[in-house]
Amino acid sequence: MSFLPINCREMQELGWERPDFVYVTGDAYVDHPSFGVAIISRVLEAAGFRVAILSQPDYKSCNAFTEFGRPRLGFLVTAGNIDSMVAHYTVSKKKRTYDYYSPGGKAGLRPDRATIVYCNRIREAYGDVPIIIGGLEASLRRFAHYDYWSDKIRRSILVDSRADILTYGMGENILLRIATLLDKGVPVKKIRDVRGCVYMAQPEDKIHFDVAAVFDYDELKSDDRKYAEAFGIQYKNQDSISGKAIVERYDNKILVQNPPMPPLEREELDRVYSLPYMRTYHPSYEAVGGVPAIEEVRFSITHNRGCFGACNFCALAFHQGRTVRSRSKESVIEEARKITELPDFKGYIHDIGGPTANFREPACEKQLRDGVCTNRKCLAPTPCKNIKVDHREYTEIISEIEALPKVKKVFIRSGIRFDYLMLDNDESFFKKLVRDNVSGQLKVAPEHCSSAVLRCMGKPDFRVYEGFRRRFFELTKSMGKEQYLVPYLMSSHPGSTLRDALELAICLKRDNYAPEQVQDFYPTPGTASTVMFRTGINPLDMKPVYVATDYHEKQLQRALLQFNRPQNAPLVREALRKLGREDLIGYSKECLVRPESGAQKSAPRSTAERSGRGKGSRASAAHKPHAKKTPRGKDNKKRR
């Protein structure tokens, strides 16, 4: 078992004259099943194909792209585990100084819009060599899309990259099918009937699937309503059972998205995760301190895919889809055994999770027969009556891994969908979670308290979170523990007015909770919330939505959520006066801020909600000065 070759010397040591595929990636090469490049390359290797990895090549010329010569079958190209623009820029469009997916965390080793740049360099080097693009950046930019960084509706990334095929979603079976056809001598321009693919064609060319809709890029970039309508139709056709093809016109050509590839079933997922991953970064990075992203996942296990939670600000529904699939209990336990044999394993499994940790099965039987519902969500604003709620198998997996030799503790750090948890009449999992699997703090995502904002987010009403929080602290106290909730909160999401921000501030004040971190809404490709931000229209129901686009208003909303910070006091007072709530400026316990002339009052500084041990019976938030900070956004899939 070894790493795949990352340069010509390593390829020659394997006795290869040339690879079948050169896989170009914007990330450092990490051979771990949390990284898309590792999974796809190992799946292709298992099918008999030779794959070489070209990691973070020098993109300023085409020379680096000739490292392995011309591959026999073609180039695979990805920007990496996350969109290259998100990797490079904060929500305020400031350049990041650290890259978790690069050796030593060094920034700047990949270009902006990496997929496009890499493909153009490959074309310079090899002309008409087959190029297949995939990964998150390509998947979420496969249609005409709003690009926050340029503030424009950009063309499909397939058009700008000049690649031959774009693969979207989870690509194992898609790329196996493409590789097999190329190996049989089928020209890449003739590969048109593979699900999960997007390609360019002539208007008169045959389309192999029923078409849901045809759009014109010139209209989409200039008409907000048409753009919102287009996204709504795209979103409703991302199911492998009910989804149809979608077409976009670009001048004298058309872009065709075939319906999605069916998700991998349990046996297929088990095979994928049983492949011989090295489970770490390539040793060439050791001298600079390795690749920081491995620290989040090295001792973690992914047990599922897909998410029927489908929050509007999350791109999962547009990428992995809303149908959940999971690995067998035996497969997950076997991976845990492998982790325990790693030389630096200290006895702690950091996570058994995925997009949403406590999902194991499709939401209902209907999804298996007819696909996901296109006219409603499974959990929000209220749970569907047909939803199946069962934590038994997940509980069994955790318990059996805890019983393995060398395992001291198993934690759950992926997002727990608390509204799904609260639907379970059997509290066995909830009690076990609180008793055994919380590492002092449990991350949850209520996001807001305003009903109007939560509807725009596709989240449940805040009362559901309050019920979960109350029960969490009751169980924690009954077990003699002191544990904390770390609630994620978001400011300036579409639908959030200044008055909604004040409602959340009052809620935080009431609960004595002072969030150290608040996430400003970040408009990224492939989400319904981003379409709302651009158009002021909810694409899922075509209703108007208020959007805070003014930078100063965003500052005011964020300041209200962190009203306790001394530096925010002027903004908080300004916001309160705008809203006619001067009664909240003063010295009483209900006030958010003191007057300008008042002495600075020391405010509680907590990053988490405490269990409520000690005085009083009501669980409340309190400060914990030594609480570990939990930065958001290290890995997009953690934010569900």
Q: Are residues 470 and 366 in the same domain?
A: no
At how many degrees (to 10) do helices 266-273 and 329-340 cross?
A: 10
Cα separations (Å) of 293 from 15, 58, 136, 442?
A: 32, 21, 16, 21
Question: What's the pLDDT tens digit per position in 79-123?
Answer: 999 999 999 999 999 999 999 999 999 999 999 999 999 999 999
Measured between alpha carbons, how far is 473 from 631 in angstroms, rounded to an integer?
23
Distance between CA atoms of residues 310 and 420, nearest Å: 13
Provide the pLDDT for residue 338. Answer: 97
Overall domain count for the chain: 3
Q: What's at 26, amino acid-wise?
A: G
pLDDT (tens digit per residue) in 474-498: 999 999 999 989 889 999 999 999 9
3-state secondary structure 549-571: CCHHHHHHHHHHHCCCCHHHHHH
State pLDDT tens for residues 112-150: 999 999 999 999 999 999 999 999 999 999 999 999 999
> What is the four-CA torsion angle of 259, 164, 109, 277, rounded to 10 degrees?
60
Query: Which of 389, 418, 439 marks a domain boundary?
Result: 439
% of the chain beyond a pLDDT of 90: 89
- Between 220 and 613, residue with greater pLDDT: 220
Q: What is the pLDDT of residues 27-63, one digit of tens each?
A: 999 999 999 999 999 999 999 999 999 999 999 999 9
Q: What is each CA distance from 278 to 1, 32, 80, 358, 426, in whole angstroms?
A: 8, 6, 18, 27, 39
Band (241; pLDDT cuts 50, 70, 90): very high
Do 333 and 359 fall into the same domain?
A: yes
Examine residue 238 and state whether it is found in any structural domain, yes or no: no
- State the DSSP string of 14-64: TT-SS-SEEEEESS--EESTTSHHHHHHHHHHHTT--EEEEES--TTSSGG
**pLDDT digit string (tens) for 418-441?**
999 999 999 999 999 999 999 888
Give the single-character DSSP code of 489.
E
> DSSP state, 264?
P
Q: Rounded mean pLDDT of 377-392?
A: 96
Helices (H), 195-289: 217-220, 224-236, 266-273
Asked if 492 and 558 touch (Cβ cutoff 8 Å), the reply is yes
25 lies in the same domain as 122:
yes
Average of per-residue pLDDT across 185-210: 97
Angle (CA) 561 567 569, round 5°: 65
**487 belongs to a structural domain:** yes
> The tokens 């939990």 sit on which residue?
630
Q: Is the pLDDT at 626 greater than 50, yes or no?
A: no
pLDDT of 633 > 60? The answer is no
**306 with 432, same domain?**
yes
Q: CA-CA distance, 379 to 417, in Å (whole number)?
A: 10
Do 434 and 501 belong together in one domain? no
* Domain-ending residue, one of 200, 228, 259: 200
Which CATH number do you get for residue 623?
3.30.750.200
Residue 607 has pLDDT above 70, yes or no: no
Task: With respect to residue 248, please indicate whether it lies within any of the assigned structural domains.
Answer: no
Please list, in sequence order, all residues whose beta carbon lies within 8 angstroms of the beta carbon of residue 467, skipping any fewer than 6 positions away.
422
ω into 381 cis (within 30 of 0): yes
| More confidently predicted of 605 and 451 | 451
Alpha helical stretches, state H, 443-545: 451-457, 462-478, 498-510, 528-535
Residue 317 confidence (pLDDT) above 90: no
* Pairing state between β 253-257 and 197-201: antiparallel
Burial of 615 (0-12, 13-18, 19+ CB in 10 A): exposed
Higher-confidence position of 242 and 415: 242
- Whether 65 maps to a domain, the answer reads yes
| Residue 613: band (very low, low, confident or very high) from pLDDT cuts 50, 70, 90 | very low
End-to-end distance of the chain based on CA atoms, in angstroms?
35
357 neighbors 349 (Cβ within 8 angstroms): no
| Same domain membership, residue 132 and residue 59 | yes
Among the listed residues 201, 123, 186, the one whose alpha carbon sits nearest the alpha carbon of residue 156: 201
432 and 490 in a single domain? The answer is no
- pLDDT tens digits, 63-75: 999 999 999 999 9
Q: What is the pLDDT of residue 512?
A: 87
Do 390 and 486 have their domain in common?
Answer: no
Query: Quick one: pLDDT at residue 608?
Result: 60
Residues 29 and 132 occupy one common structural domain: yes
Composition of the chain by helix, strand, coil, percent to 5: 35, 15, 50
Q: Mean pLDDT score of the chain, rounded to an integer?
A: 92
Residue 517 has pLDDT above 90, yes or no: no
- Examine residue 284 and state whether it is found in any structural domain, yes or no: no
Domain-terminating residue out of 178, 200, 222: 200
Of 606 and 126, the one with more pLDDT: 126
Do 464 and 431 reside in the same domain of the chain?
Answer: no
Question: Is residue 427 situated within a structural domain?
Answer: yes
Sign of CA pseudo-dihedral 66, 67, 69, 74:
negative
| Domain identity same for 426 and 501 | no
- DSSP annotation of 627 reads P
**Tell me, what DSSP letter sits at residue 618?**
S
Q: Is residue 576 domain-shared with residue 615, that is, in the same domain?
A: yes
Mean pLDDT of 623-636: 37
Which domain range does residue 331 map to? 299-439
* Position 240 in a domain: no
The CATH number for 12's domain is 3.40.50.280
Tell me if 233 is assigned to some domain: no
- Residue 609: the pLDDT is 58
Q: Is 596 helix (H, G, I), strand (E, B) or coil?
A: coil
What is the CATH classification number for the domain harbouring 350? 3.30.750.210
Whole-model pTM: value is 0.91
233 Cβ contact partners less than 8 Å away, ≥ 6 residues apart: 212, 213, 246
The single-letter code of the amino acid at 609 is E
